[in-house]
Amino acid sequence: MIDTVIFDFDGTLADTNQLIINSFRHIYRKFHDSECNEDYVLSTFGEPLELTLRRDFKDFRYEDVVGSYRAYQVERFEKEVFLYDTVKETIEYLSNKNIKTGIATSRLKSSTITALNNFGLDKYFQAVITADDVGRHKPDKEPLIKTINELKSTAANTLFVGDSKFDMECAINAKATPVLAGWHKNSEELAEKYGIKYILNKMWDLTEIIK
């Protein structure tokens, strides 16, 4: 019986895609004096920002690169980031059904908490595990297992809702049930590759799985 639902954040609860792409465009122009490959940037969604920046900007000081990336986002986040359709209604529904809910994200703790507060969602999540809280990141199972443990739940009773290959592999590695946010252009490909049974057209579809 499913009694726990854990969510990724970026691309799952909130549409941050364009802001992230624009942020990468900004730092590519500033440090590499070139345009970024949008498809490549999209392929990195789901891995910790630090890993991406240290790999792709290894000739520059990490602190300079991440500082520029964050500064670009800070003044734009509240205006350019929105919850996906029916996200808040679905989370309220789960709360009313006494379903335990958590977050397992590769986003940093400070920005995750700020975003949840801004959207009025912080009160619904009993556990929030971010890149700052683990030694191994998705697709490793550690972020999801740590969230499950904090919720005093079990993997067998848990759905993990995400949008990326990192999320699907993390759920599979943790032996939880993967649920795919199916509103991205690579969703069909991911669903086929990982044999995903549950694919959402909108977040409210989750309520049918819980029933």
Which of the residues are catalytic? Answer: 8
Cβ–Cβ < 8 Å for 49, 41: no
- Nearest-10 crossing angle of helices 49-56, 62-74: 130
The rounded distance, in Å, linking the Cα atoms of 97 and 200 is 19
Rounded to 5 degrees, φ, ψ at 177 are -90, 120
Which residue in 113, 96, 94, 97 sits closest to 105, CA to CA? Answer: 113
Neighbouring-strand partners of residue 15: 82
Task: For the chain, give the longest Cα–Cα distance.
Answer: 53
Other beta carbons within 10 angstroms of residue 92's beta carbon come to: 12
Cβ–Cβ < 8 Å for 104, 132: no
Residue carrying structure tokens 């309220």? 92
Residue carrying structure tokens 């792709």? 56
Q: Which residues 6+ apart lie within 8 Å of 152 measured at CB?
A: 100
